[in-house]
Amino acid sequence: MRMRELGNGGLKVSALGLGCMGMSFAYGPPGDRKEMTSLLHAAVERGITFFDTAEVYGPFTNEELVGEALAPLRGRVTIATKFGFAPDPADRTRWSGLDSRPEHIREVAEASLKRLKIDVIDLFYQHRVDPEVPIEDVAGAVKELVSQGKVRYFGLSEAGAQTIRRAHAVQPVAALQSEYSLWFRTPEEQVLPTLEELGIGFVPFSPLGRGFLTGKIDESTTFDSGDFRNNLPRFTPQAREANKALIDVLTLIGRQTNTTPAQIALAWLLARKPWIVPIPGTTKLSRLEENIGAASIELTPANLREIEDATAKIKIEGARYPESLERVTGR
């Protein structure tokens, strides 16, 4: 597995990371702990060094899983986690909104360090921009944690260009994590140019469109009752039917290169910029190995032009989130 540098601050990680959320949260029942531990170990053995989690995943259980599984391998891995949500005082298994107050950031850092069984958080993201807390205060709180040796690098998630600039002026931002793939390209408008200008790395989450870009989901696919895709406009049967045109493009390029649609989708992201590190998630070893295979695929300029020309003619149907969730993204 090749390595990439996220930003210009020295944070080097594998070209592909592993998003761990789905092992505990959001896509149905949590995975078997022993099986997920084995999967995390397999990822390290195959060259992945970058693992993504958050306190909200579970909540808390995903950090505990990642911490326990990777503790014996700590010297070989980089662990990213996140702060920024407020637990419901009446039920700490639920979340009541956003909270990036400096005192809460410090509380989350201490709790995450314990759950992850580590002495320092490698990359600490603000999970979502909190409109009630100036981003300068957020960056200042993380700056203090960096000076105390509790955090190595500061990151943002789903932040807009101006927010990134304001935060970066207080504490250098090593990486931005946001959704980015062939079916959600909004970051190209303002965010990617800003990151390139400031020397900040980019970590696309949902690089496979929450599974859609694998080509294994169609209009007849059913999800577990606890799978949050049941609530996403882009995953209605009608939207899935309309968006199959994108899968047709990936399948065509895959046939030409003897690769899968998922591998083409990831290889396309890797070809965009040398400071982009996608974090596809999975609970299956076969999918992990398939995704890792994308890191060795070199799409030709002709391949890339063909993808651009074909996808430019496709209108993606369905919003990525319901309006209630979209209000806390992309600020």
For the chain, the straight-line distance linking the first and the last C-alpha, in angstroms and rounded, comes to: 34
Count of residues for the chain? 331
Partners of 91 in the β-ladder:
88
Neighbouring CB atoms inside 10 A of 3's CB total: 12
Contact of 299 with 271, CB cutoff 8 Å: yes
Contact of 95 with 85, CB cutoff 8 Å: yes
Catalytic: 57? Answer: yes
**Of residues 27, 21, 32, 33, the one with CA closest to residue 226:** 27
Q: Which long-range contacts (CB under 8 A, 24 or more apart) does 233-237 make?
A: 233/318, 233/319, 233/320, 233/321, 233/322, 234/183, 234/209, 234/316, 234/317, 234/318, 234/319, 234/320, 235/210, 235/318, 236/318
Active-site choice (57, 125, 153, 180) = 57
φ, ψ for residue 78 (rounded to 5)?
Answer: -115, 125
* Rounded CA separation 282/266 (Å): 14
Planar angle of CA 305, 308, 314, nearest 5 degrees: 150
Contact of 47 with 1, CB cutoff 8 Å: yes
Residue in this structure with the two tokens 């149907």, named with its chain if needed? 317
* Rounded CA separation 125/246 (Å): 31
Contact of 154 with 143, CB cutoff 8 Å: yes
Instruction: Please give the positions annotated as active site.
Output: 57
